[in-house]
Amino acid sequence: MTEQDILNLIQKDEWMMKVLQIAEKQNLKDWVIGAGFVRNKIWDYLHDFQKEKVDTPDIDLVYFDPSGNNMEEDEAMSEKLKQETTINWEIVNEAYAHVWNHTEPYSSTEDALSKWTETATGIGVRLKNDKLILMAPHGISDLVNLIVRPSPNFPGCLPLVKKRIKEKKWLEKWPKLKIIE
């Protein structure tokens, strides 16, 4: 499976394209929709699951704008979009998100994605001028090979990764996953 194959799957998914169009209209700088939006779509496909829409509890719309919104403003924007679309949005300016992980400030959205807990989670997609663009700072190999691996850029996250696997029931949902410690 290639990056283009991933983009083709997303392109053919009307619901995902609708979500991306809504995100694009927010006019946020350096934005992507990441985490389960892309990851779950690919894991479902590789498990031969036919689903009407991606099974994700929320839409992680992240962007990077040092002069942009703070946490409260992002929460208000998330709630507004939720009311307008009935989709659970989680909008976060990665310019302040580093404080949650007690790390140095991020320099871009791609830098932030590279520090998300798992390599297969730190992947995002955006729509720009009707063209899909994939952002995968660790590449797509782990994602398409069903590998759950802690991000090398998030030292000490293995306990968190194990907790996420258990709480989110990933091995129950996607039994072909391989956990790499």
What is the spatial distance between Cα 38 and Cα 30, in angstroms, rounded to a whole number? 17
Q: CA angle, corner 20, sides to 70 and 27, nearest 5?
A: 45
| Statement: residue 83 has pLDDT above 90 | yes
**Tokens standing for residue 95:** 């310019």
What is the tally of structural domains in the chain? Answer: 1
Task: Tell me the CA distances in angstroms from 77 to 71, 95, 115, 131, one per residue in order.
Answer: 10, 16, 24, 25
The CA-atom distances, in angstroms, between 22 and each of 27, 43, 172, 177 are 10, 24, 31, 31
pLDDT digits (tens, 9 = 90+) for 139-173: 999 999 999 999 999 888 899 999 999 999 999 99
What's the pTM? 0.93
pLDDT of residue 56: 82
| CATH code of residue 68 | 3.30.460.10
For residue 46, the enclosing domain spans 3-179
Give pLDDT tens digits for 18-77: 999 999 999 999 999 999 999 999 999 999 998 777 778 899 999 999 998 899 999 999
pLDDT at 66: 95
> Where do we find the tokens 């983009």?
7
- At 108-142, the pLDDT tens digits run 999 999 999 999 999 999 999 889 999 999 999 99
Q: How far apart are CA 173 and CA 169, in angstroms?
A: 6
pLDDT (average), residues 86-106: 93
